Amino acid sequence: MSDDQKIYDIDSYSYDLPAELIAQYPVTPRDSSRLLVLDRSSGGMEDQVFSNLIEYLETGDTLVLNKTRVIPARLVGFRDSGARAEIFLLRKRGGEWEALVKPARRLPPGKIVRFESADEYIEILEETDTAGGRMVRICNCKDENEFLCRHGHIPLPPYIDRPDEIMDQECYQTVYAKNDGSVAAPTAGLHFTDQLLDQLVSKGIHIVYLVLHVGIGTFRPVKTQDIRDHKMHFEVYEFDRQAADLLNQTRSNHKKIIAVGTTVVRTLETVYNEDCGFSAASGETNKFIYPGYTFKAIDGLITNFHLPRSSLIMLVSAFAGQENTMAAYRHAVDQRYRFFSYGDAMFIK
């Protein structure tokens, strides 16, 4: 296989990770996590602390953050037989929800899932194209948000090998989370504290927000040997006029646009137009970014360490270079960085 073809081979995105490096809990305070600074031009690396991010940004640069908020999307109830049933809400579609259900073969259309001490119940409506996927309706429910707060669980990813705890309700949200709709946190933003954001603003660094509600596409594994055959799921985004104007101004001033997280990258690269720059937009994107992609909207990226063979590590490889990225991951393993959602971060400049 030629070097040109290797970048499209899923095996090129594997790495060995000791299980003990998968973070099970966040660090406190948030910005005390470690930060690996990677120079994508030279491949050079520095081991830092996240609170020192400010040293790598200049007055007039703009950070772009995703203000989506994680909903308590995981519901555990019981079937009429009394056996356990799990509903994982993915996305609201009108008066119904797209969801994943377990056990799928025991929950065909027409079945009911009930909950302890609740008048509300969930009706299974129809199957979807996703494995274990169903359209469902929350019935006899006056306030879905209140119902989810009572019966829903924070949807921690499966590599966090413990039940969700009360502290996850706060820790698995960014401090600036506002718009309900995600089923996974935009984890690069988990490292920011209100104090660090204030320090950045005091230095003259601009901060703007967009929304991309993280859905199933983020955590579904890439299964095709040729990564170009992978299809992303659509996710909803919102990008307003104020953010567009500030990013266009940043470009005009020859300053840098730094994306906080892969969700921000995918949104900005979706809305950017080479003829007119950034414009306000909303809609859905299934943009899949992998090596060979030409970036148009960003100059830097803050991101966590991602799962092997995931679409996220492919996006990072597209920006930093595949060899640089995998070298950085090997360095992070050697230096005992903490990985995945509650883990440490990387700044690619």
Q: Model-level pTM greater than 0.85? A: yes
Same domain, residue pair 209 and 268:
yes
CATH of residue 238's domain is: 3.40.1780.10
* Residue 118, pLDDT score: 87
* Residue 2, pLDDT score: 65
| Cα(288)–Cα(260) distance, integer angstroms | 17
Q: Any idea which residue has 């470009």 for tokens?
A: 251
* Residue 194, pLDDT score: 98
Same domain, residue pair 173 and 298:
yes
Q: Is it the case that residue 1 has pLDDT exceeding 70?
A: no
DSSP helix/strand/coil, 242: helix
CATH of residue 95's domain is: 2.40.10.240
* Residue 221, pLDDT score: 81
Q: Higher-confidence residue: 239 or 233? A: 239
Same domain, residue pair 283 and 315:
yes
Residue 331 lies in a domain: yes
Tally of domains within the chain = 2
| Cα(265)–Cα(215) distance, integer angstroms | 15
Q: What is the average pLDDT score of the chain?
A: 96
Q: Is it the case that residue 107 has pLDDT exceeding 80?
A: yes
Q: Using an 8 Å Cβ cutoff, are 97 and 174 in contact?
A: no
Same domain, residue pair 123 and 211:
no
Same domain, residue pair 217 and 325:
yes
Q: Higher-confidence residue: 289 or 220? A: 289
Residue 160 lies in a domain: no
Q: Using an 8 Å Cβ cutoff, are 222 and 309 in contact?
A: yes
Residue 159 lies in a domain: no
Q: Is it the case that residue 273 has pLDDT exceeding 80?
A: yes
Summarize pLDDT for 326-345 with one digit per residue, the tens. Answer: 999 999 999 999 999 999 99
Name beta bridge partners: 84: 78
- Neighbour tally for 48: CB within 10 Å: 17
Asked if residue 72 has a cis previous peptide bond (ω within 30° of 0), the answer is no
Summarize pLDDT for 140-199 with one digit per residue, the tens. Answer: 999 999 999 999 999 999 999 999 999 999 999 999 999 999 999 999 999 999 999 999
Same domain, residue pair 179 and 122:
no
Residue 229 lies in a domain: yes
Give the tokens for residue 332.
């992070």
| Last-in-domain residue among 153, 186, 211 | 153
Q: Quick one: average pLDDT of 116-145?
A: 94
Least confident of 128-132, 236-240, 275-279: 128-132
Same domain, residue pair 201 and 312:
yes
Q: Using an 8 Å Cβ cutoff, are 130 and 216 in contact?
A: yes
Name beta bridge partners: 134: 99, 127
Same domain, residue pair 133 and 268:
no
Summarize pLDDT for 200-211 with one digit per residue, the tens. Answer: 999 999 999 999
Q: Using an 8 Å Cβ cutoff, are 343 and 23 in contact?
A: yes
- Neighbour tally for 267: CB within 10 Å: 26
Sign of CA dihedral 268, 269, 275, 280: negative
Q: Is it the case that residue 66 has pLDDT exceeding 70?
A: yes
Q: Is it the case that residue 285 has pLDDT exceeding 80?
A: yes
Same domain, residue pair 58 and 88:
no
Q: Using an 8 Å Cβ cutoff, are 101 and 87 in contact?
A: yes
Q: From the centroid of its chain, how far is CA 119?
A: 33
Q: Quick one: average pLDDT of 311-318?
A: 97
Same domain, residue pair 144 and 183:
no
* Residue 343, pLDDT score: 98
337: nearest Cα among 44, 29, 46, 11 = 46
* Residue 79, pLDDT score: 95
Residue 219 lies in a domain: yes
Residue 164 lies in a domain: no
Alpha helices in 155-261 (DSSP H): 168-171, 194-202, 216-219, 241-252
Same domain, residue pair 206 and 304:
yes
Same domain, residue pair 95 and 55:
no
Q: Any idea which residue has 């555990």 for tokens?
A: 76
348: nearest Cα among 32, 31, 36 = 36
| Cα(346)–Cα(329) distance, integer angstroms | 10
Domain residue limits at 8: 3-70+169-348
Q: Quick one: average pLDDT of 56-60?
A: 98
Q: Any idea which residue has 């309900």 for tokens?
A: 180
**How do strand 345-348 and strand 34-38 relate by DSSP bridges?**
parallel
* Residue 220, pLDDT score: 75
* Residue 130, pLDDT score: 86
Residues with Cβ within 8 Å of 18's Cβ and at least 6 positions away in sequence, in order, are: 333
Residue 162 lies in a domain: no
Residue 161 lies in a domain: no
The band of 216, judged by pLDDT with boundaries at 50, 70 and 90, is confident
| Last-in-domain residue among 153, 184, 207 | 153
CA angle 329, 346, 189 (to 5 degrees): 135
| Last-in-domain residue among 129, 153, 177 | 153
